[in-house]
Structure 1
Amino acid sequence: MLLAIDAGNTNVVFALIEGREVRARWRIATDPRRTADEYVVWLSQLLALQGLDRSAVTGVVIGTVVPRAMHNLRMLATKYFGGEPTIAGEGGWPFALDVDEPSNLGADRALNVIAAHAAHAGDLIVVDFGTATTFDLVDYSGAYKGGIIAPGINLSLDALVTAAAKLPRIAIEAPTSLTVVGRNTVDQMHIGIFWGYVAMLEGLIARMKAEVGRPVTVIATGGLAALFEGHTGVFDHVEHDLTLIGLAMEWERAHIGGERASA
């Protein structure tokens, strides 16, 4: 099985992938100081809970937007999993980047482009809910055309609570009522954070679609995508493992060749 590692700003996701099916996934808080030895103790225990040991892993692929985390993740692969990992994007991406600063595209967003285009025809918007919420436009040829970076919903709440001394910290969840007129402080905060965020999603996606001028399929992914699933009709698909599948495809491209990688 393939061990796919997606290192984001908030969490590192480890997943076992067989073919393109995610068999197991685990999250740990991102900390660039965490050593390969610390990772392997934690990961070995989780593998054991699946009835597996490290010998079940036949390859490692890493994608990260946290450069300082790369050294220890690479050491984890070489020291404990028997070889050099595949680094997503090393040597370039297998699609056109039609933007002003192609080298600045994050690995997670690039992996989403790869996986989304392989699964869906036509023009696409990929919305990834993480530390930031990103909106990426992929045209019918698979080229990356640009996008939007917005504060993630957790960042929005943190900014509100930090700046307003009397506002309490609340859980991020859908309000229990569909009303947008709150009768108390906590309800008003839930409405502002949740429905305000939904309105932002719907408004930005509508503007992107209008700018494209052709039918567009909208795909949601990322750890917080489930929070909005069922509360807006703006998403055509919710695919929680899009980035991980992109990692598997990058491993295939490096080790099996273009035919399997594009299948």
Structure 2
Amino acid sequence: MLLAVDAGNTNVVFALLAEDGSIAARWRIATDPRRTADEYAVWLHQLLSLEGYARSDVTGVIIGTVVPRALHNLQVLARKYFGQEAMVAGQGAADWGIRLDVDEPHNVGADRVLNAIAGHAAYPGDLVVIDFGTATTFDVVDYDGAYKGGIIAPGINLSLDALVAAAAKLPRIAIEAPTDQTVIGRTTASQMLSGIYWGYVAMIEGLLARVKAEIGRPVTCIATGGLATLFQQHNLFDAVEPDLTIRGLALLHQRSHRPA
């Protein structure tokens, strides 16, 4: 089985994939570059056992990360506890295999390229992938699979944290879909929720409209990331794919093992 590791700014996601590509199990832990391979191993071994798997079931490891300091300990984890040399997305045999048609291709985050790869494999034509993570990113993928660039905006939780930190009297609220369609809040908490939630709906609608107009062809919009489902009810997206980054890692691993 393949252990795919997506190390993001907020969380590291470990997913165990069967040979048919299906995700057998997934686990999430807070990102901490100081976390050692031994700490990962203790935590992961327990979770594998709970799901009925053993370390010996893992026959391959691939890592995608936007946190360079986390990479070394994840590579040590693969080598020391799974007996595998981890592939690293974008490097060596796991080279992207797509054209990064931007001015600074070396600065494109691994998660964004992985989303582009998985999105293009699943949906033909021009794509916009919106990832609701630490940042909210919009990525444009051409009909031939080339990554064309995108947009980076503050993530929902990041925006809320900044608001609460800067205003002493504002409470910390949970991010959730409002129970009604009104945007005029009658309490401090409801006004904050309205600003965050409907503000993001308006941002998505506005930026998508501008991106589609710039592309000038029919576009499929895919949403991913933990908070994507919050906005699904507004028909902003053509599809919600919560495991898009993991799918991209699996595709890279599969391509690297194809016969020449």
The TM-score bracket by the shorter chain reads over 0.9
Count the aligned residue pairs. Answer: 257
Residues 192 and 70 of structure 1: CA distance in aligned 2, closer, same or farther (over 3 Å)? same
The 8 Å contact of residues 98 and 145 in structure 2, kept in 1 or not, is answered as: yes
Query: Quick check: 115-124 or 221-230, which moved more?
Result: 221-230
Describe the superposition over 1:95-119 as per-residue Cα deviations: whole angstroms up to 9, x where unpaired: 1111110111110000001100011
**Structure 1 segment 186-201 matched on structure 2, within 5 A:** 186-201=189-204
Alpha-carbon distance in structure 2 between the residues aligned to 1:83 and 1:170: 43
Matched, 1:203 2:233: no
Describe the superposition over 1:193-248 as per-residue Cα deviations: whole angstroms up to 9, x where unpaired: 11111110111011100100100000001122122222x21100000000001000
TM-superposed CA distance for 1:257, in Å, is 4.5
Give the residue type in structure 2 aligned to 1:75: V
State the TM-score, normalizing by the size of structure 1. 0.96
**Structure 1 segment 2-13 matched on structure 2, within 5 A:** 2-13=2-13
Alpha-carbon distance in structure 2 between the residues aligned to 1:179 and 1:95: 44
Describe the superposition over 1:72-100 as per-residue Cα deviations: whole angstroms up to 9, x where unpaired: 00000000111201111004421111111
The 8 Å contact of residues 37 and 76 in structure 2, kept in 1 or not, is answered as: yes
Give the residue type in structure 2 aligned to 1:229: Q
Give the residue type in structure 2 aligned to 1:127: I
Give the residue type in structure 2 aligned to 1:16: L
Alpha-carbon distance in structure 2 between the residues aligned to 1:145 and 1:242: 18
Matched, 1:150 2:189: no
Give the aligned partner of residue 56 of structure 2.
55
The 8 Å contact of residues 86 and 254 in structure 1, kept in 2 or not, is answered as: no
Alpha-carbon distance in structure 2 between the residues aligned to 1:21 and 1:202: 32
Alpha-carbon distance in structure 1 between the residues aligned to 2:139 and 2:54: 37
Give the aligned partner of residue 261 of structure 1.
none
- 3-state DSSP of counterpart to 2:115: helix
**Structure 1 segment 76-91 matched on structure 2, within 5 A:** 76-91=77-92
Give the aligned partner of residue 16 of structure 2.
16
Which one of the candidate residues 179, 182, 198 is aligned to 1:179? 182
- 3-state DSSP of counterpart to 1:178: coil
- 3-state DSSP of counterpart to 2:100: coil
CA RMSD of aligned residues (A): 1.0
Query: Quick check: 18-27 or 185-194, which moved more?
Result: 18-27
Alpha-carbon distance in structure 1 between the residues aligned to 2:194 and 2:249: 36
Matched, 1:127 2:130: yes
- 3-state DSSP of counterpart to 1:3: strand
Matched, 1:226 2:237: no
- 3-state DSSP of counterpart to 1:148: strand
Give the residue type in structure 1 aligned to 2:25: A
TM-superposed CA distance for 1:253, in Å, is 1.7
The 8 Å contact of residues 59 and 84 in structure 2, kept in 1 or not, is answered as: no
Alpha-carbon distance in structure 1 between the residues aligned to 2:204 and 2:21: 29
Describe the superposition over 1:31-77 as per-residue Cα deviations: whole angstroms up to 9, x where unpaired: 01111111011001101111111011111000000000000000000
Alpha-carbon distance in structure 1 between the residues aligned to 2:185 and 2:114: 40
State the TM-score, normalizing by the size of structure 2. 0.97
Unaligned runs of 5+ in 1: 259-263
Describe the superposition over 1:133-185 as per-residue Cα deviations: whole angstroms up to 9, x where unpaired: 11000010001111000000001101111111111110111111211111111
- 3-state DSSP of counterpart to 1:13: strand
TM-superposed CA distance for 1:256, in Å, is 2.5
The 8 Å contact of residues 6 and 12 in structure 1, kept in 2 or not, is answered as: yes
Alpha-carbon distance in structure 2 between the residues aligned to 1:11 and 1:63: 12
Unaligned runs of 5+ in 2: none
The 8 Å contact of residues 17 and 24 in structure 2, kept in 1 or not, is answered as: yes
Alpha-carbon distance in structure 2 between the residues aligned to 1:35 and 1:110: 27
